[in-house]
Amino acid sequence: MKSIVVKQPNDLIIEEREVPQPAKGEVRVKVKLAGICGSDSHIYRGHNPFAKYPRVIGHEFFGIIDDVGENVDIARIGERVSVDPVISCGHCYPCSVGRPNVCESLTVLGVHRDGGFSQYAVVPSQNAYTIPDEISDESAVMIEPFTIAANVTAHLKPTENDVALIYGAGPMGLTSVQALKGVYNVKEVIVVDRIDERLNMAKISGADRVINNTSLSLKDELDRLSIKPTVIIDAACHPSILQEAITIASPAARILIMGFSSEACPITQQSITSKELSIFSSRLNAKKFPVVIDWLKEKLIDPQKLITHRFDYIKVIQAIETFEKDQKQCCKVLLTFS
């Protein structure tokens, strides 16, 4: 089989490997589609501190089970599945409180262990979620990015009275827009970005208002419009954003950050406590595949709106470079496997 392997930073090859045998409790997935995410590019470029090389990257993938290991029902062979990349121990403190995404011995497929950019991948059976026939292959491969929004909104508990502001109209901002509007029906969703083409995608995904903050003060603009966001999601993740979010937030607002920058961001106790703000963070997803599968069954979200490019896996370098360079036209780039 062919696998896409990052041998070391900036050195990616398509390698011939043995088709893996599923171990006890595992299934083998014949991969059909995989999505390129920022973190794949970060591992390729050597910017992910958790990555170990060589690594088969890819943590967003869909395919068909074609073999099972010991202790797995043989009837699973032939199932269409999407794979949750989060592998957890099941018994540490975070696992015991329903937070396997921050398991003390967390393993993420495509980061800590070989992932889905391969003709075949072996994964724990419980990580391979059955996809109902009514959900298309392309929607199924988009489940993982939407589980990030499911995790974010599980923390924020949005309501119809909320006015939400999202920083960033990349894939993460857009999945959040769709969840807030399609699933939670919040009153208003405002998206802030510096790229008009991306803001246009935010409108297509349901944003009520978009603001390009390249050359204006977001605070002044919101004051002018008399908008006080009650929910703020930082899906742009620049370290300067948290302070601004605290400043523009309504009293009693909830703010959620998703970034991994190690740069300090100065914030004061007073600015948080005086408005009694709640600040959450969200990482990966805590068993949110079934949630997003339900969203898809009920047609509350539309992943097609995010898919802009498709490449045969042989052209993976071109696909990643397009994803990295063309922020105006590119959102989700899919790789097709045969």
Which residues contact Mn ion (rule: CB under 5 A)?
Answer: 37
Residue 221 one-letter amino acid: E
When the beta carbons of 254 and 288 are compared against Mn ion, the nearer one is: 288
Report what 103 binds from ligand NAI, Mn ion, Zn ion, none; CB cut-off 5-8 Å by kind. Answer: Zn ion
When the beta carbons of 19 and 237 are compared against ligand NAI, the nearer one is: 237
Report what 1 binds from Mn ion, ligand NAI, Zn ion, none; CB cut-off 5-8 Å by kind. Answer: none
When the beta carbons of 51 and 65 are compared against ligand NAI, the nearer one is: 51
CB of 288 to Zn ion, least distance (A): 17
Site for ligand NAI in 154-213 (CB under 6 A): 167-173, 192-195, 198, 213
CB of 290 to ligand NAI, least distance (A): 18
Reading the block at residue 104, the tokens are 């003390």
When the beta carbons of 103 and 222 are compared against Zn ion, the nearer one is: 103
211: left (phi over 0), alpha (psi -120 to 50) or beta: beta
Q: Give the residue, chosen from 88, 125, 139, 151, that forms a contact with Zn ion under the rule CB under 5 A.
A: 88
Reading the block at residue 41, the tokens are 């590019």
When the beta carbons of 174 and 277 are compared against ligand NAI, the nearer one is: 174
Question: Cα separation of 155 and 254, whole Å?
Answer: 9
When the beta carbons of 163 and 337 are compared against Mn ion, the nearer one is: 337
Q: Give the residue, chosen from 9, 25, 38, 46, that forms a contact with ligand NAI under the rule CB under 6 A.
A: 38
Per rule CB under 6 A, is residue 45 in the interface with ligand NAI? no
Tell me the window of 90-98, 124-132, 206-214, 243-251 that interacts with Zn ion (CB under 5 A).
Answer: 90-98
Question: Cα separation of 294 and 131, whole Å?
Answer: 10
- Quick note: the x/- pattern for ligand NAI over 121-140, rule CB under 6 A, is --------------------
Question: Cα separation of 322 and 319, whole Å?
Answer: 5
Question: Cα separation of 253 and 246, whole Å?
Answer: 9
Site for Zn ion in 92-111 (CB under 5 A): 92, 95, 103
Report what 88 binds from ligand NAI, Mn ion, Zn ion, none; CB cut-off 5-8 Å by kind. Answer: Zn ion
Report what 31 binds from Zn ion, Mn ion, ligand NAI, none; CB cut-off 5-8 Å by kind. Answer: none
CB of 77 to ligand NAI, least distance (A): 32
Tell me the window of 74-82, 124-132, 179-187, 233-241 that interacts with ligand NAI (CB under 6 A).
Answer: 233-241
Q: Give the residue, chosen from 238, 275, 309, 315, that forms a contact with ligand NAI under the rule CB under 6 A.
A: 238
Reading the block at residue 244, the tokens are 């601004």
Per rule CB under 6 A, is residue 149 in the interface with ligand NAI? no
Per-residue three-class SS string for the chain: CEEEEEEECCEEEEEECCCCCCCCCEEEEEEEEEEECHHHHHHHCCCCCCCCCCEECCCCEEEEEEEECCCCCHHHCCCEEEECCEECCCCCHHHHCCCHHHCCCCEEECCCECCCCECEEEEEHHHEEECCCCCCHHHHHCHHHHHHHHHHHHHHCCCCCCEEEEECCCHHHHHHHHHHHHHCCCCEEEEEECCHHHHHHHHHCCCCEEEECCCCCHHHHHHHHCCCCCEEEECCCCCCHHHHHHHHCCCCCEEEECCCCCCCCCCCHHHHHCCCCEEEECCCCCCCHHHHHHHHHCCCCCHHHHEEEEEEHHHHHHHHHHHHHCCCCCCEEEEECC
When the beta carbons of 122 and 192 are compared against ligand NAI, the nearer one is: 192
Interface residues with Zn ion (CB under 5 A)?
88-89, 92, 95, 103
Summarize as ranges the residues that interact with ligand NAI (CB under 6 A). Answer: 38, 148, 167-173, 192-195, 198, 213, 235-238, 241, 258-260, 282-284
